[in-house]
């Protein structure tokens, strides 16, 4: 009948690309940049940006576009390839930023050894991936992975009363999640 009263899902589509560990993820960042030097890499946490700068500086001699979400604006990514290099623990906050940047689809690079995933038993997934013969430098990209990440974000949102900001994903989880 009428969809007059139905809420429209205005969510920006997220495409997750996940590696077994951070070393492989950072190599994925370097490889992507080598393919397309105009790629912009966006970070939710200052500590992740600093980590990327240390790792990438040894691998890349050119100028690489690295921004935190606090400093990113549409004109920095307009007509460019861009990648978020981690998830924010709360889906709602991610979606608000994606929508404010007028994005239709977002690519997110993650690693199963990141705090967000460790909190929810990613070590079991890593063992499974190893058992089926996946190599550490291979990434996974599937709608089921994205849905699993969103489920983790929803579980986290239910545990957070008043959000406290943090400099890293690990520190955010420590400050905001009840034990």
Q: Tell me the two tokens of residue 38.
A: 């105009």
Say how far apart CA 151 and CA 113 lie, in whole Å.
18
- What are the residue ranges spanned by the domains of the chain? 13-176
Q: Name the phi and psi angles at 164, rounded to 5.
A: -110, 135
- Write phi, then psi, for 103 (nearest 5 degrees): -90, 145
pLDDT tens for the chain, 179 residues: list them. Answer: 455 555 556 789 999 999 999 999 999 999 999 999 999 999 999 999 999 999 888 777 778 899 999 999 999 898 899 999 999 999 999 999 999 999 999 999 999 999 888 877 788 888 888 888 989 899 989 888 888 889 889 999 999 989 999 999 999 999 998 65
**Of the candidates 95, 91, 92, 23, which has an alpha carbon nearest to the alpha carbon of residue 58?**
23
In CATH terms, the fold of domain 13-176 is Rossmann fold (3.40.50)
Q: What gap in Å lies between CA 56 and CA 48, rounded to an integer?
A: 12
pTM comes to: 0.88
153: left (phi over 0), alpha (psi -120 to 50) or beta: alpha
Please check whether residue 112 is in contact with residue 126, taking contact to mean a CB–CB distance below 8 angstroms. yes
């Amino acid at each position: 009948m009428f969809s007059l009263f139905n809420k429209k899902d205005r969510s920006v589509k997220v495409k997750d690309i996940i590696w077994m560990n951070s070393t492989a993820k950072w190599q994925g960042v370097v490889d992507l940049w080598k393919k397309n030097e105009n790629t912009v890499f966006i970070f939710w946490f200052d500590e992740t940006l600093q980590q990327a700068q240390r790792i990438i500086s040894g691998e890349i001699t050119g100028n690489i576009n690295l921004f935190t979400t606090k400093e990113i604006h549409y004109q920095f990514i307009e007509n460019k390839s861009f990648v978020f290099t981690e998830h924010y623990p709360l889906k709602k906050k991610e979606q608000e930023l994606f929508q404010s940047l007028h994005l239709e689809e977002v690519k997110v690079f993650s690693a199963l050894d990141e705090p967000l995933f460790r909190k929810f038993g990613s070590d079991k997934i890593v063992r499974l991936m190893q058992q089926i013969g996946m190599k550490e430098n291979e990434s996974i990209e599937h709608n089921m992975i994205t849905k699993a990440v969103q489920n983790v974000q929803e579980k986290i949102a239910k545990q957070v009363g008043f959000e406290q900001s943090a400099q890293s994903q690990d520190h955010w989880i420590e400050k905001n999640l009840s034990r």
